[in-house]
Amino acid sequence: MRGVIALAAALSLPEQLDDGAAFPQRDVLIFLTFCVILVTLVAQGLSLPFLIRKLGLAAKSEISEEERQARRQMLLAAINKIRELQSTEFSGEEEALVDLLKHYQQRLEETQMAFGTRAAEVVNYEQYRRLESHVRAVERSTILRMRDRNQINDNVLRVLERELDMLDARHLRTHP
């Protein structure tokens, strides 16, 4: 919408004056108006991100050290639970447990580099889903324990719980 009024004013200039003569430099005025609008939009558009960063107004996308440590402990607890399950009650589901273990190890590696998860391909989705649900419960209990011990604050707890909720919702939506 920016510049519309200026362009409309330039375009509303008559092509001819009252005496029938052509309006002097009408095309040049329209062209210059268009150029000024374009330059101001481009210059402001390109300089705004730089200005926001320089003024410190940008929201930081980095996760805090507290959140990274909580995420790491949560994932380590899940990995330990998967390893425990491999040697006990779920011994008939080795393929799904191996796949689930790889998934959680990948997430743990990503906490060292960047935030995010990658979905793994699964041979037997039902086994995977049941085991993942079991392990996600361990993740939830780990972060709740950490909050109860004042190792993490409520904000970190909410972020991690929301992430687990989103993972649960994604699995329910794609495979009801």
pLDDT in tens, 113-129: 654 433 333 345 566 77
Do 78 and 150 belong together in one domain? yes
DSSP E strands: which ranges in the chain? none
Which carries the bigger pLDDT value, residue 166 or residue 155? 155
Do 45 and 83 belong together in one domain? no
Do 75 and 126 belong together in one domain? yes
Do 69 and 43 belong together in one domain? no
Q: Give the confidence band of 91 by pLDDT, cuts at 50, 70, 90.
A: low
Which carries the bigger pLDDT value, residue 89 or residue 26? 26
Do 81 and 162 belong together in one domain? yes
CA dist 72 and 29 (Å) reads: 63
Do 20 and 51 belong together in one domain? yes
pLDDT of residue 158: 92
pLDDT above 90: percentage of residues in the chain = 22
Which amino acid makes up residue 121? E
Q: Give the confidence band of 165 by pLDDT, cuts at 50, 70, 90.
A: confident
Do 28 and 72 belong together in one domain? no
pLDDT of residue 60: 58
- Token pair of 87 as six digits: 């040697």
Do 114 and 50 belong together in one domain? no
Do 41 and 70 belong together in one domain? no
* pLDDT tens digits along 16-73: 888 989 889 999 999 999 999 888 888 888 888 888 878 877 665 566 788 888 988 9
Residue-averaged pLDDT of the chain = 80
Of 85, 89, 4, 90, the residue nearest 41 (C-alpha): 4
pLDDT of residue 151: 93
Q: Give the confidence band of 172 by pLDDT, cuts at 50, 70, 90.
A: low
Range with top average pLDDT, 51-55, 109-113, 157-161, 166-170: 157-161
Phi, psi of 79 (to 5 degrees): -65, -45
Do 143 and 73 belong together in one domain? yes
Q: Give the confidence band of 134 by pLDDT, cuts at 50, 70, 90.
A: confident
Do 23 and 93 belong together in one domain? no
DSSP helix, strand, coil percent of the chain (3-state; round to 5)? 70, 0, 25
Structural domain of 27: 4-55
- Token pair of 167 as six digits: 């993972």
pLDDT of residue 40: 85
Domain count, the chain: 2
